[in-house]
Amino acid sequence: MNLKTTYLGLDLKNPIVPSASPLSQRLDHMKQLEDAGASAIVMFSLFEEQIRAEAESLEDMLSMGTDSFAESLEFFPRASEYSVGPDAYLNLISDASASLDIPIIGSLNGVTPTGWIDYARNIQEAGAQALELNVYHVATDLNESSVQVEQRYVDILKAVKASVDIPVAIKLSPYFSSMANMSKRLVEAGCDGLVLFNRFYQPDYDLESLQVTADLNLSTSHEIRLPLLWLAVLKNRLNTSLAASTGVETHVEVLKYLMAGADVTMTASSLITKGPGHVRSLIDGLTEWMDEHEYVSVEQLKGSMSQSAVADPSTFERANYIKILEKNKAEYTLTG
Ligand SMILES: Cc1cc2nc3c(=O)[nH]c(=O)nc-3n(C[C@H](O)[C@H](O)[C@H](O)COP(=O)(O)O)c2cc1C
């Protein structure tokens, strides 16, 4: 069984990649991920806000509670766990690159094309073999147009690309007016891979305390359909690597994502819940299924059910939406 795949120009032994999460905060956990079979590891993010506030501790930043840290707050459910300053972050990449045999992918997370981007080069120099760029921008400014929002992504990507030689992937949210065009623009601007998607952490209200809560729910496999759609649509239409992120719980989601067109499938929630050893179950499940269904390689699976490969490409578009509504009308019509 040939599980090999290529992502961002990296030859990987299989398509299972732990995505950015607290699991990459400790070398021993990273080692456990490698031992369980992970083919690469994406580090948790180094945030623009952290780099800006290098002199301050992360706890101080969070206790300021200003809007400018809203995004990082969403990603820091247990702030103390992430108390890794920029220097410690680079040291961790350096140690991991030296002691593990699999590629380490650094992660930078920010929203402005300014000085913090210099850290991309530091991450490269520390030994990362690729970089994932997460532009977690919540466009709440009434005066920022969609054109400006999109340009922000392109500008940040170009600035990062100009400062490194390693491949750069960009982790996107699905909330663009034209996901297809945005993806094309990013590829034209030099991006080597798209990670679909970033999970958008939305606030809730606690009705008793009348507080806005920012808790983080881990994902379930029910959430794969949006990334699945866009992977299937973009496969074979852009010259770039594709990574699936969100909702991989078992080998079933891995298979679906590969068939849609992913080069790798990433997972965070399932590893947090089940531990690093879960990587092995994903690989074993994938291998068994391929064996039973007479697939010999991951390459054979990749994109085999993308929009360009299926008999009826309209299944991914408006025509299918109308069909589904019509079909379900009968089923859901109330009687009596
Ligand atoms: C506790 C936690 C911490 C995370 N930290 C980061 C991060 O630092 N940078 C990032 O880009 N994504 C981060 N993510 C997002 C994950 O990498 C991933 O994209 C998202 O959780 C969807 O994948 P999943 O459904 O497998 O969890 C984090 C997710 C979780 C659950």
pLDDT greater at residue 144 or residue 82: 144
Q: Where are the domains of the chain?
A: 5-306
| C-beta neighbour count of 222 within 10 angstroms | 8
240 by Cβ neighbours in 10 Å (0-12 / 13-18 / 19+) ranks as: buried
| CA-197 nearest atom, ligand 1 | 19
- Contact residues for 249 (Cβ-Cβ < 8 A; gap 6+): 220, 221, 267, 269, 270
Position 313 scores a pLDDT of 87
Contact assessment for residue 133 and residue 170, using Cβ atoms and an 8 Å cutoff? yes
Whose Cα sits closest to atom 17 in ligand 1?
20
For position 330, what pLDDT does the model report?
A: 78
As a whole number of Å, the end-to-end CA separation of the chain is 56
Instruction: Determine the distance separating the centroid of ligand 1 and the alpha carbon of 19, expressed in angstroms.
Output: 6
List pLDDT tens digits, range 153-167.
999 999 999 999 999
Atom of ligand 1 minimally distant from the CA of 44: 8
Handedness of CA 202, 208, 211, 214 (dihedral sign): negative
Pocket test for ligand 1, best of 172, 199, 250 (most atoms within 8 A of CB): 199
- For the cut 50, the answer to whether the pLDDT of residue 74 exceeds it is no
Q: How far is the CA of 201 from the centre of ligand 1 (A)?
A: 10
CA distance 277 to 266: 15
73, pLDDT greater than 70:
no
Q: How confident is the model at residue 59 (pLDDT cuts 50, 70, 90)?
A: low
CB of 16 closer than 6 A to ligand 1? no
Give mean pLDDT, residues 212-231: 93
* Ligand 1 pocket member 245 (CB < 6 A): yes
> Per-residue pLDDT averaged across 186-203, rounded?
93
Q: What is the distance, to the nearest Å, from the Cα of residue 104 to the centroid of all Cα atoms in its chain?
A: 15
Average pLDDT across the chain, whole number: 90
| CATH class name, domain 5-306 | alpha beta
Q: What is the model's pLDDT at position 132?
A: 98
Higher pLDDT, 72 or 154: 154
pLDDT tens digits, residue range 94-109?
999 999 999 999 999 9
Q: What percent of the chain has pLDDT over 70?
A: 91
Residue 78: which pLDDT band, with cuts at 50, 70 and 90?
A: very low
pLDDT band for position 133 (50/70/90)? very high
Question: Is the pLDDT higher at 90 or at 316?
Answer: 90
Residue range 252-285, pLDDT digits in tens: 999 999 999 999 999 999 999 999 999 999 999 9
Residue 314 scores a pLDDT above 60:
yes
What average pLDDT does range 221-229 have in this prediction?
Answer: 97
User: Span 63-73, mean pLDDT?
Assistant: 46
Q: Residue 56: what pLDDT? A: 55
Give all strands (DSSP E) within 237-284, no chain letters: 241-245, 264-267
State residue 63's pLDDT score. Answer: 56
Residue 22 DSSP label: G
Q: CB–CB of 154/186 below 8 Å?
A: yes
At residue 112, does pLDDT exceed 70? yes
Banded model confidence at residue 115, pLDDT cuts 50, 70, 90 = confident
Q: How confident is the model at residue 57 (pLDDT cuts 50, 70, 90)?
A: low
Model confidence, pTM:
0.90
Q: Is a pLDDT exceeding 50 seen at residue 82?
A: no
